[in-house]
Amino acid sequence: MTKSHIHTDLPGPKARELLARDALVVSPSYPRDYPFVMSHGKGAEVWDVDGNRFLDFAAGIAVCSTGHSHPAVVRAIKDAADRFLHISSDYWHAGQVELAERMNALSPMKEPVMSFFAQSGTESVEAALKLARYVTGRGRFIGFLGGFHGRTMGSLAFTSSKYTQQKGFFPAMPGVTHVPYPNNYRPLFAGGDQGRAVLRYIEEVLFVHNVPSNEVAAILVEPIQGEGGYLVPPDGFLAGLRELCNRHGILLIFDEVQSGVGRTGKMFACEHWGVAPDIMTLAKGLGSGMPIGMVVAKRSIMQKWSRGAHGNTYGGNPLCCAAALATLDLVEREYRANAAKIGDYFMEQLQLFAAKHSVVGEVRGKGLMLGMELVVDRAGKVPAKTLCDALITRAFHNGLLLLSCGLSTVRFMPPLMIDEADVDEAIELLGRSLEEVLATEHPIARGIATA
């Protein structure tokens, strides 16, 4: 049994003091699940302000791709800070050009690309939408139910993983039509191929009865859906989407904000299916914790933007570019392969875990982007939302940081540098936490209540 590294009640006294101060001055809108107050971190380990140590399998929502404070990334940031902190996108600097060149070499587009620099995923999505409208002259878009693309008004129009994200903000950007994301575990259409069914729905129903295809600028999709439940699309779906877009002159935008930069064992998740987008958005793991986003588009598309068509103040920040270049070095050299190798081992362990626990309905994912969906029973597949929430909280008290997604899915998105020992510890803590929750007399803890 793994030795406990939790030495105080949670939250501890120093954490409680900071939480009380926070409640007076910080927005209550942040969706925080449990009271973890960080002091410092190294690799996949983090410590709170009371000295309790945790295994971090959330990685700042898949951001700390190379682990907390990787020495090479920290050194690159410090070196850049010694030179200058900011110059603005009105001027040039070597780090920004080098990062754009690097992305040109790495991109899945199979042709030259250009990049626009941002500070976050939502800003990258906003820029991609503006680019698509600008170059096509069309105003409509298609998105997917369960998708998450950000919280600013353009990206929010696509975000539909939870209705609470849009509640109170209507109207968002007009012109977005949502269709189901294919989910073979929870099929909405008849037939065994949900991917093909969704493609038929778009072309044979939506384009016939509701949305003129020649008014659609782009289809925005996550190659692996994140907040919606870590859903891996059926084979052939992304290729079929690519063919559909080609037939109708529609741009295909892949949101790789969560799935990109080695997370799935490939540099970009779309490479698992060999499908190239016209435009791709990046953020999260690109900077190992530094706020950076990018829009990567085929040069034939982005070069149509005229001077002043889009811009920002902080895009291409030198510290963020330095962090991204160091991150890509590490991911290319070792962490992409490690995500594939350790991801396979982690998947095997989760499947063994599922065989022991009937509340696990499905385990899915690629690389180190894995999800475990909890259900009341496997036959009915009723989502066990309350059980999922209780498990996440109990895991925190046992020293494991996790987050949920979808209706009742525990998601695992650890730093890409973890090893088998880290996985073994996580599985042990997960099992202990689930057993403790299920041992509770209250029926809610058993997942019988799902709301």
Domains located in the chain, CATH noted = 13-69+335-446 (3.90.1150.10), 71-331 (3.40.640.10)
- Angle, helix 420-438 to helix 336-356, in steps of 10 degrees: 30
For residue 215, report the phi and psi dihedrals to the nearest 5 degrees: -110, 0
CA distance 292 to 289: 9
Region 75-85: what's the mean pLDDT? 98
Q: Residues near 341 by Cβ (< 8 Å), separated by ≥ 6?
A: 265
Compute the radius of gyration of the chain from its Cα atoms: 22
Average pLDDT score over residue span 416-435:
98
CB-based contacts of 354, cutoff 8 Å, min separation 6: 360, 362, 363, 372
Mean pLDDT of the 210-239 span: 98
- Calculate mean pLDDT across residues 250-271: 98
Strand partners, 141: 176, 218
**pTM recorded for the entire structure:** 0.95
Q: Is the pLDDT of residue 450 over 60?
A: no
Summarised one tens digit per residue, pLDDT across range 142-165 is 999 999 999 999 999 999 988 888
- Are 120 and 314 contacting, i.e. CB atoms less than 8 angstroms apart? no
Ranges of beta strands (E only) in 171-278 are: 176-179, 216-221, 251-255
Residue 63 has pLDDT above 60, yes or no: yes
> What does the chain come to in residues?
451
Cα separation, 163 vs 157, in Å, equals: 11
Residue 449 has pLDDT above 90, yes or no: no
**8 Å CB contact between 257 and 295:** no
Note whether 393 and 20 are within 8 A (CB): no
47, 53 Cβ separation under 8 angstroms: yes
Tell me the DSSP string of 209-235.
HT--GGGEEEEEE-SSBSTTT-BPPPT
What pLDDT was estimated at residue 451? Answer: 38
Instruction: Tell me the sheet residues that pair with 290.
Output: 288
Alpha carbon distance 365, 342 (integer Å): 13
Cα 280 to Cα 263: distance, rounded to the nearest angstrom: 15
**Phi and psi at residue 243, to the nearest 5°:** -65, -40
Distance of alpha carbon 401 from alpha carbon 10, whole angstroms:
13
